[in-house]
Amino acid sequence: MKPKEVVEIIEPKKIIVGNKKAPITITEFVDYESDECAKVNEVVAALLETYPDKINFNFRHFPLLKIHQKAHKAAEAAIAIGQEGGELLWEMHKELFRNRKNLGVISLKSYAKEIGTTNKKFLEDIINGTYGWTVQDDLNEGIKMGVTTVPTFFINGVMFDKEPTFKNLSAHIASLSDKAGDKKKVEVKKVKTASLN
């Protein structure tokens, strides 16, 4: 009998999207079936584009299981993809939000294939719940940190208590940059933000 292969799982808190050396880390607890999380994901995309040298992003999972039965498996799918790196995770993250009304297991496999996963065991891992406990770890950690709903943001480990609009998050990023002694004007790429405020 062959010994069971043990594969180390990269935890979501260790998967960073964007510049890993950026001084500001924004963490968001999400549920992939949430319309609010999908809406704020556009804000996240704009922030990453606007502040590429200032911020990075970390996605954590907080499926609201009483109202979103498929969110847990979607979170498992995101973690499975995250094992291949932050950039691929970001693509899967966007795909899951675009298709938040259709998150069955077979659909998850299709989305993973569309974004270019190389994991040949993706479907098997999702069916067998390989990443299920990892989602639960995120959920439990979120509860300990005071998360009660989604989306919930933390900036450099501190809960962000304002509405997560582009304007509010940008102002907070600027204030953190100023506090860190970075008095230079932040070079901001032009991004259409009117619909994000």
- Measuring CA to CA, which residue among 83, 115, 84 is closest to residue 97? 115
Instruction: Name 130's Cβ contacts closer than 8 Å, sequence gap at least 6.
Output: 9, 76, 80, 124
pLDDT digits (tens, 9 = 90+) for 121-179: 999 999 999 999 999 999 999 999 999 999 999 999 999 999 999 999 999 999 998 87
Residue range 59-100, pLDDT digits in tens? 999 999 999 999 999 999 999 999 998 889 999 999 999 999
Helices 86-98 and 71-82: crossing angle, nearest 10°?
Answer: 160
Q: Which residue has the higher pLDDT, 190 or 2?
A: 2
Lowest mean pLDDT of 1-5, 71-75, 106-110, 185-189, name the range: 185-189
Structural domains of the chain, ranges and CATH numbers in brackets? 12-196 (3.40.30.10)
For 24-58, how does the pLDDT look when each residue is reduced to its tens digit (9 = 90+)? 999 999 999 999 999 999 999 999 999 999 999 99
Give the pLDDT score at 194: 46
Contact residues for 169 (Cβ-Cβ < 8 A; gap 6+): 26, 43, 47, 153, 155, 160
What is the pLDDT, as a whole number, of residue 85? 87
Per-residue CA distances from 75 to 40, 63, 113, 137 (Å): 17, 8, 16, 12
What angle in degrees, to the nearest 10, is found between the helix axes of 71-82 and 132-145?
A: 100
Whether the predicted pLDDT of 182 surpasses 90: no
